[in-house]
Amino acid sequence: MAKKTYEKITTPTGRAQYPYLNVPDTKFKEDGEYKVDLMLDKVEDAQFLGDIKARAEKAVEKAKVQLKKKNKHNKIKNLNSYVPYEEIFDDEGETTGAVKVKFKTKAQYSRDDGTVIKMSPDLFDSQGKEIDRDVVDIYAGSKLRCNFTPTSFYSPASNMAGVSLRLNAVQVIELSEGRAEQASSYGFGSVDDGFSVEETDFGSSSSLNDNSKNSDEGDYNFEEGDF
């Protein structure tokens, strides 16, 4: 039997949000998932985004054909579509020009004989050299390219069809040092005549120093919060 081959696609360069590339996220799934949201540009990356949308639409049409064969016409009528990205809007409902694309892959799976297979996406630097995930931390704000395999699906439970993007590998073009992200990495642009921190004392060194004496008050533990 011929070995099944999987399509592999590489994204344009974007900024990482909520990356779980060094260790898997186990908050919602016990087995864990490696994942990252990649911020792309709606205009510059339109061709790539259009291809993903077309694949999702094809998966929906395929699901409709299968449901029709099974005479599940009510399912066809209420079929939901899933596209693995979302456009980012500001507080006024205006587009920011940013699009968040979601990539993920399982951290492990079990074979029929009970053997557990560990998996993780490969990591490379800008020169194509392998990155040791135990040594180099990849923070939000890093510039990345993702290699992925698009997978069409239909879920009877949610009556949803679409395409998911299974993460194969990541190339780090520019590594964030873990500082707070820039507004642009969230899709925020400049808004004319809006609030400016420069017009106040908020965030200035003097205001911070004035409040430093209260920094130990209370028993807040941010590590216990769900932020």
Task: Grade residue 194 by pLDDT with cuts at 50, 70 and 90.
Answer: low
Pairwise CA distance, residues 73 & 159, whole Å: 12
If 0-12 CB within 10 Å is exposed, 13-18 middle and 19+ buried, where does residue 163 land?
Answer: buried
Pairwise CA distance, residues 130 & 108, whole Å: 21
- Specify the CATH number for the domain of residue 111: 2.40.50.140
Residue, of 100 and 30, whose pLDDT is higher:
100
If 0-12 CB within 10 Å is exposed, 13-18 middle and 19+ buried, where does residue 193 land?
Answer: exposed
Q: Where are the alpha helices (DSSP H) in 85-222?
A: 205-211
Q: Is 21 contained in some domain? A: yes
Q: Is 220 contained in some domain? A: no
Q: Is 119 contained in some domain? A: yes
Residue 12 confidence (pLDDT): 98
Q: Is 146 contained in some domain? A: yes
Q: Is 101 contained in some domain? A: yes
Q: Is 93 contained in some domain? A: yes
- Full domain range(s) for residue 178: 9-214
> How do residues 114-165 score in pLDDT, each as one tens digit?
899 999 999 999 999 999 999 999 999 999 999 999 999 999 999 999 999 9
Tally of structural domains, the chain: 1
3-state secondary structure of 207: helix
Q: Is 3 contained in some domain? A: no
Task: Grade residue 214 by pLDDT with cuts at 50, 70 and 90.
Answer: very low
Q: Is 1 contained in some domain? A: no
Pairwise CA distance, residues 57 & 34, whole Å: 26
